[in-house]
Amino acid sequence: MNTHLQHQINQWLDNDPDPHTRSQLQTLIDNGNETELAARFAGRLAFGTAGLRGEVGVGPMAMNRLVIRQTTAGLGAYLLEQIDNAAERGVVIGYDGRHDSFTFAHDAASVLTAMGINVHLTYKVAATPLVAFGVKHLNAAAGIVVTASHNPPQYNGYKVYWENGAQIIPPHDTGIAAQITRAATQAIPFLALDDAISQDKLTWLQDDFYQAYRQGIHEAKELQYHSGQDKVSLAYTAMHGVGADMAETVLNDAGFTQVYSVAAQREPDGDFPTVNFPNPEEKGAMDLVIAEAKKHNATLACANDPDADRFAVAARTENGDYQMLTGDQVGVLFGHYLLSHAPKNQQLTGTTIVSSSLLSKIATEFGSQSYTTLTGFKWLMNVGIAKHQADNQFLFAYEEALGYTIGNLVWDKDGLSALVAFAQLTAELADNGQTIWDKLEQIYRQHGFHLNKQVSIALNADTPNIGAYLREHPPVKIGEYAVVSTDDLKSLQRTAADGSKQAIDLPSSDVLIYALEGGARVIVRPSGTEPKIKCYYEVVETMTTSDTWASAQTRAEDAMATFVTSHQTSLPS
């Protein structure tokens, strides 16, 4: 074993507070597994705008107690440097139901309080939206939630909110990362929680905090449709996460009493025993809640992911089956519903570049403004906060990956308020003799049948840099569609078919967006390090008076299949 690796290992053993991971490391040493040791000490789990996320294990490349303590020391140092009264305002900390989350959250609290920073720590598991709510509610300097959201059981994560209640964006991510690197070379301060309490540095967030969030949902002006609840029944699953208690409570508060929870998935369980992958988008993940819905002939089958920041739904069809709605379909239903009730000074909506363009068309229908950001709620919310004005208040934002924010109770995606809003939306439709599917068809007849698809394309290993190739050989046509304009988010320029150029007001990103005739669109995200690209396609088919939903969908799916094939064959091999 080389001297540098030996030094890293010895240093880790000296500082690791967890006997379990120290034992794992010692076993690797005793077995002479130098390859595995080198991999575990090959670098450091990168801290970025999503914080940390990785498999739980030993060494700086994994999630473990020492990494959590070092990360928290770095975050604390950055807060003290950046925010004058950070120590007094403090940090809100919450955690999900994964096996290590309790310990990681308590370790983070001990480090921050040892640094003189007040901590508000949830007394039990908390949905991620509650932590984002807590930063605003308590006027904290930051928030931490220990969660790996919908990742498999072996993962955990560490998500950070800034003082505005939204996820961190540059330059805070790199600033915190630099402080973490520094902290990893130093002794980490640590204060036992009992001592932190006696020194008035730690406050437990008890039930009154959870009730404040509950009351916030109940009083939210966007969630005040209180009719037709008796016409809506729903099955619900927390997917072995932390959402059930609050989800059932806020639904009941809103008058929805026909709620049937999936008992086998109701309680937090870090093993996620009934799902292969606890993500509502994954095949099979919604099977139990759909079975529960069928059992009760419920209107809806609803799910939160394990930290309850995402919302998924399947709706009953005419023949009694249940069909999943896509994130885009839920997003446009929300957009139309909320805009139809919103006052004129609260009609600001937003979505991301890879989500359907339909929301912007609905916003135009209502004479309101819709903004578009890079992918991720960190961008959706920080831009929403910046654009939020007295005469143009934020109403709603979504991304296609099942994330929705309604109103400004929480400046992040919130699967619990979305659950209430969707039940109310469904109730209003039922009052008017309509279903979810009727409303979607009505929207499609007005604006066109929008179909979206995401495809990852692996290219040959010797293919030239795909981003560079596409910029050097800009297409004038993709499939049967002429290119109307190209947005290059790397150079932040939009180039029209006639060669005219326009600046783009977004952060720089290696993304190309092709707007095509007929409303079609391709978004290409090249990889700079491997021959692979991720493509997002959209086709729009006009619905004629003779069209049914089925005929329009079939035509759109055929157009999409041809479109995707044409685009893939146009790429260099």
Residues annotated catalytic, as ranges: 149
Residues belonging to the chain? 573
Q: Amino acid identity of 561? A: A
| CA atoms of 512 and 470, how far apart (whole Å) | 9
Tokens of 263: 């008992």
On whether the CB atoms of residues 26 and 75 are closer than 8 A, the answer is no
List, as one string, the DSSP characters of 151-184: S-TTEEEEEEE-TTSSBP-TTHHHHHHHHHHHHT
On whether the CB atoms of residues 478 and 435 are closer than 8 A, the answer is no
Tokens 């007295």: give the residue.
390
Alpha helix stretches (DSSP H) within 448-548? 466-472
Kindly list the strands in the beta sheet with 394-399, ordered across the sheet, starting from the edge strand earlier in the chain: 370-373, 348-352, 394-399, 403-406
On whether the CB atoms of residues 445 and 554 are closer than 8 A, the answer is no
Phi, psi of 491 (to 5 degrees): -95, -5
Q: What's the 3-state SS for 536-556? A: EEEEEECCCCCCCHHHHHHHH
The continuous run of DSSP H or E covering 53 comes out as strand 52-55
| CA atoms of 529 and 467, how far apart (whole Å) | 11
| CA atoms of 261 and 394, how far apart (whole Å) | 32
Tokens of 300: 């809806």
Contacts of 312 (CB under 8 A, 6+ apart): 280, 281, 286, 302, 303, 304, 305, 324, 402
Alpha helix stretches (DSSP H) within 413-548? 415-431, 436-447, 466-472
CB-CB neighbours of 175 under 10 Å: 17
Looking at 90-231, which runs of residues are DSSP E strands? 91-95, 119-122, 142-146, 155-161, 202-205
Contacts of 353 (CB under 8 A, 6+ apart): 372, 373, 374, 375, 489, 506, 511, 513, 523
Counting Cβ atoms within 10 Å, is residue 58 exposed (0-12), middle (13-18) or buried (19+)? buried
395: helix, strand or coil: strand
| CA atoms of 66 and 430, how far apart (whole Å) | 53
29: helix, strand or coil: helix
The continuous run of DSSP H or E covering 502 comes out as strand 501-503
